Amino acid sequence: MIARPNRRPQMKGDALVRFENVGLRYGLGPEVLKDLSFGIEPHSFQFLTGPSGAGKTSLLKLLFLSLRATRGIVTVFDHDTSRLSKDELSVLRRRIGIVFQDFRLLDHLTTYENVALPLRVLGKEEASYRSEVIDLLEWVGLGERIDAYPPILSGGEKQRAAIARAVIVRPEMLLADEPTGNVDPPLAKRLLRLFVELNRTGTAVLIATHDLSLLDQVEARQLVIREGSLTVTDPHHAEAGGW
């Protein structure tokens, strides 16, 4: 088992994200998420699991503020998101990192340029971040692939580039959708270790996965969705559920 992630004790109420009786439906369809109430604490580490079609991706979209809940209250960084404009949501979104299942790297940019892109978008000068980007690429084991373009990277290398791009802006919370979906078990373990290391530096981490073997490797909170309803188990607290 990989050494435990951050276990800083938390006070109720200082959550990065709080869901209260949240529901989601697409258009006029049935509710795909029902009455979700939970929080994500600063510095915490959790897995999100559940059968295919249960609602994991939909929940990630709510957490990344790319979808709005159809009922209930979603509070992110102390803001009631239902009251925010699209522009205000995108400002909050900058504090959240995301690793997409399909990586979403830009093929015409090198690995270095892909990872540096969020800093360029923020208007930073290259001189101010170049060494930081290179250090991060070395940390994720891509020091030799800095000038390579995504089409020639392996699945695991793309995955690590996507993780580096998500964390270069030092997000307060990192969301990852099936981050080990395309890699073999030894690399999956290495990637998981990267997430645990990142969590130790202070970032809250949520990993959505089908890979039950990951859950045995880190003793962490588990958010389990079944048919749109959520159950929370937390090995660090006696009682399950809630915040």
Ligand X SMILES: Nc1ncnc2c1ncn2[C@@H]1O[C@H](COP(=O)(O)OP(=O)(O)OP(=O)(O)O)[C@@H](O)[C@H]1O
Q: What residue ranges bind ligand X (CB under 6 A)?
A: 26, 29, 32, 50, 52-58
Smaller CB separation from ligand X, 54 or 196: 54
Min dist. Cβ of residue 12 to ligand X (A): 28
Min dist. Cβ of residue 240 to ligand X (A): 21
Min dist. Cβ of residue 69 to ligand X (A): 13
H-helix or E-strand containing 174?
A: strand 173-177
H-helix or E-strand containing 189?
A: helix 185-200
Q: Which two tokens stand for residue 117?
A: 């892109």
Min dist. Cβ of residue 16 to ligand X (A): 21
Smaller CB separation from ligand X, 62 or 153: 62
* Nearest-angstrom CA–CA distance, 121 and 100: 19
Nearest to 230 by CA among 239, 221, 219, 241: 241
Quick count: other Cβ atoms within 10 Å of Cβ 184?
A: 10
Judged on CB neighbours under 10 Å (0-12, 13-18, 19+), 38 is buried
Smaller CB separation from ligand X, 9 or 27: 27
Smaller CB separation from ligand X, 41 or 177: 177
Are 162 and 111 in contact by the 8 Å Cβ rule? The answer is no
> By three-state DSSP, how is residue 26 classified?
coil
Are 32 and 51 in contact by the 8 Å Cβ rule? The answer is no
Min dist. Cβ of residue 177 to ligand X (A): 8
Min dist. Cβ of residue 36 to ligand X (A): 12
Smaller CB separation from ligand X, 78 or 102: 102
Nearest to 72 by CA among 80, 64, 61: 80
Residue type, 167: V
Smaller CB separation from ligand X, 137 or 232: 232
